Amino acid sequence: QKLKIGLIPADGIGQEVIPAARAAIEALGSEIPKPEFFDLEAGFEVFANSGEALPEDTVEALKECDCALFGAVSSPVKKVTGYSSPIVALRKRLDLYANVRPVISVAANPEDKPDVDLVVVRENTECLYVKQETMSAGEHGKEARATRLITERASHRIGKMAFEIALGRPRQQVTIIHKSNVLSVTDGLFRDTVRAIPRAVEGGRYDNVKLEEQIVDSAVYRLFREPEIYDVMVAPNLYGDIISDAAAALVGSLGLVPSVNAGDNFVMGEPVHGSAPDIAGRGIANPLASIRSAALMLRHLGYAAPADKLDRAVNEVIREGQILTPDLGGKSKTGEVLDAVLKRL
């Protein structure tokens, strides 16, 4: 039996870090089913060439895969007619309703507790990301409107994912992020739905999970001041987007933070960093977020031991502090960091 993995490097440094993640997976040898890789296209460059940011072939091929790794997409600096982010589309097309983003600092001593150790569980299919926008002419000029959709169904399933993740962590705490003091209907529904989950699930499965909540603005403030108060943060799409970048700032670099886009039947790893056009093509992109995303993807598929092995190797490289890319203050190249990880596997 093989493990079919779709690879979608897409734009910018995605082209440099996804091959590194592939090499790390290959180095696992017989600890996982033999991987078979499928090179797939998406992104702004493909759009510029073909008019399609997310070719139908890519979506069809992914449906035949067990999992995938996605790189990053470039956002056009000017508005481009017909272009729309392929990652947002992909999340919806494959119903990858949860964007799971663990943010963990690496303690100097492997025995020590990390200062930051939290998971952002971001709803991945709705909120303002439904992209229902209209433009009209008002009395005083143009008026644009966007719809923010929050459903009970999506809030319930993302909430359940958050509770499940909390069960596997020592703290067992879920913090709901919302702004129901202003958005009493939409964020009120999100909050109430997540709150109701422990009672709705049979057998008292979540009875020991501590449930907290925070208004989004003050959540970001406290994230910087006292990150230790958080364990699992569950948030509607846009708040989750902002919070996970904010949390990434706490651990030194976006180049370290992995994610998976997870649905009930498919999982796609994706580094949280973007396409970084300023450094693309120079061989200095940090491959660690992508390697960690591969680990997260494998863990999600049930391969915990090889995932741990990848994570341990990455943490050792960070801890030793000798072979790091410039985003972490080092001078090493993508390939050198990858080699350092491979050596420690």
Task: Report the catalytic residues.
Answer: 129, 179, 217, 241, 245
148 binds, among a second copy, ligand IPM, none (CB under 5 to 8 A by kind): a second copy
Q: Least CB distance from residue 242 to ligand IPM, whole Å?
A: 9
Nearer to a second copy, 179 or 333 (CB): 179
Q: Least CB distance from residue 144 to ligand IPM, whole Å?
A: 18
Residue 238 burial (C-beta neighbours within 10 Å; 0-12, 13-18, 19+): middle
Which of 221, 304, 320, 329 contacts a second copy by CB under 8 A? 221
Residue pair 24/294 in contact (Cβ under 8 Å)? The answer is: yes
**Which secondary-structure segment (H or E) carries 286?**
none
Q: Least CB distance from residue 329 to ligand IPM, whole Å?
A: 24
Residue pair 314/324 in contact (Cβ under 8 Å)? The answer is: no
Nearer to ligand IPM, 85 or 334 (CB): 85
User: Is residue 82 near a second copy by the rule CB under 8 A?
Assistant: no
Angle of CA points 145, 149, 153, to nearest 5°: 170
**Number of chain positions touching ligand IPM (CB under 6 A):** 8
Distance CA 239, CA 214 (A): 12
User: Is residue 89 near a second copy by the rule CB under 8 A?
Assistant: no
| Crossing angle (nearest 10°) for helices 334-343 and 288-300 | 50
Which listed range, 1-9, 82-90, 158-166, 330-338, lies at the site for ligand IPM (CB under 6 A)?
Answer: 82-90
Which of 47, 70, 97, 129 contacts a second copy by CB under 8 A? 129
Distance CA 36, CA 65 (A): 9
Which of 56, 108, 141, 278 contacts a second copy by CB under 8 A? 141
Nearer to a second copy, 156 or 344 (CB): 156
Distance CA 69, CA 130 (A): 23
For 142-151, the CB contacts below 8 A with 24+ separation are: 148/183, 148/186, 149/186, 150/126, 150/186, 150/187, 150/189, 150/190, 150/236, 151/126, 151/189
Residue 179, C-beta contacts closer than 8 angstroms, at least 6 positions apart: 187, 215, 216, 217, 239
Residue pair 179/239 in contact (Cβ under 8 Å)? The answer is: yes
User: Is residue 185 near a second copy by the rule CB under 8 A?
Assistant: yes
Which of 13, 67, 88, 232 contacts ligand IPM by CB under 6 A? 88
User: Is residue 87 near ligand IPM by the rule CB under 6 A?
Assistant: yes
250 binds, among a second copy, ligand IPM, none (CB under 5 to 8 A by kind): a second copy
DSSP characters for 97-137?
Answer: -EEEEEEE---SSTTSPPS-EEEEEEE-S-BGGG--EEEEE
Binding site for a second copy (CB under 8 A): 75, 79, 84-85, 88, 128-129, 131, 133-135, 138, 140-153, 156, 179-186, 188-189, 192, 215-218, 220-221, 223-225, 238, 241-242, 244-246, 248-250, 254, 274
Binding site for ligand IPM (CB under 6 A): 73, 85, 87-88, 181-182, 217, 241
